[in-house]
Amino acid sequence: MEMEQEKMNVRKELSPDSASYHCSACHGDETWSYNHPIRGRAKSRSLSASPALGSTKEFRRTRSLHGPCPVTTFGPKACVLQNPQTIMHIQDPASQRLTWNKSPKSVLVIKKIRDASLLQPFKELCIYLMEENNMIVYVEKKVLEDPAIVSDESFGPVKKKFCTFREDYDDISNQIDFIICLGGDGTLLYASSLFQVLNEVVIDRGPSSYLSNVDVYLDGHLITTVQGDGVIVSTPTGSTAYAAAAGASMVHPNVPAIMVTPICPHSLSFRPIVVPAGVELKIMLSPEARNTAWVSFDGRKRQEIRHGDSISITTSCYPLPSICVCDPVSDWFESLAQCLHWNVRKKQAHFPEDEDEDQDEEDS
Q: How much is the average pLDDT of 150-165?
A: 83
Work out whether the CA dihedral 7, 10, 12, 13 comes out positive or negative.
Answer: positive
Radius of gyration of the chain (CA): 24
Overall fold of domain 3-49+69-198+318-338: Rossmann fold (3.40.50)
pLDDT of residue 38: 39
Average pLDDT (6-18) is 37
Q: What is the pLDDT of residues 255-266, one digit of tens each?
A: 889 999 999 999
> Higher confidence at residue 44 or residue 238?
238
Which range, of 94-98, 240-244, 343-347, averages the lowest pLDDT? 94-98
Binned at pLDDT 50, 70 and 90, residue 119 comes out as confident
Dist CA 267 CA 256 (whole Å): 28
Model confidence pLDDT, tens digit, residues 287-322: 999 999 999 988 888 899 999 889 998 887 777 777
SS3 percent helix, strand, coil of the chain, rounded to 5, is: 25, 30, 45
Q: Can you name the residues that pair with 7 across neighbouring β-strands?
A: none
Tell me what pLDDT residue 24 has.
34
User: According to CATH, where is 3.40.50.10330 located in the chain?
Assistant: 3-49+69-198+318-338
Outline where the chain has alpha helix (H).
11-14, 16-19, 119-127, 141-144, 147-150, 156-159, 185-193, 242-245, 328-339, 353-363
Of 31-40, 44-53, 94-103, 268-277, highest mean pLDDT: 268-277
Q: What is the pLDDT of residues 334-343, one digit of tens each?
A: 889 888 888 8
The top-scoring range by mean pLDDT among 37-46, 59-68, 151-160, 352-361 is 151-160
Q: What is the pLDDT of residues 184-241, one digit of tens each?
A: 777 777 777 776 667 899 999 999 888 999 999 999 999 999 999 999 999 998 898 8
Query: Which is it for strands 273-276 and 257-265: parallel, antiparallel or unpaired?
Result: antiparallel
Higher pLDDT among residues 184 and 243, named by residue: 243
With CA atoms as reference, report the closest residue to 264 among 250, 249, 247, 251: 247
Mean pLDDT, rounded, for 163-180: 76
Residue 150's beta-bridge partner residues? Answer: none
Note the pLDDT of residue 295. Answer: 94
Residue 94 has pLDDT above 60, yes or no: no
Q: Is the pTM of this model over 0.85?
A: no
Within the chain, all domains assigned CATH 2.60.200.30 are found at: 200-315
Q: pLDDT > 90: what percent of the chain?
A: 23
pLDDT band for 347, please (50, 70, 90 cuts): confident
d(CA 60, CA 51): 14
Fold category of 200-315 in CATH:
Tumour Suppressor Smad4 (2.60.200)
Contact yes or no for 137/155 (Cβ under 8 A): no
Report whether 214 contacts 203 (CB < 8 A): yes
Q: What is the pLDDT of residue 154?
A: 81
- The pLDDT of residue 161 is 86
**Of 96, 93, 153, residue with least CA distance to 123:** 153
Q: Is the predicted pLDDT of residue 274 greater than 90, yes or no?
A: yes
pLDDT of residue 281: 93
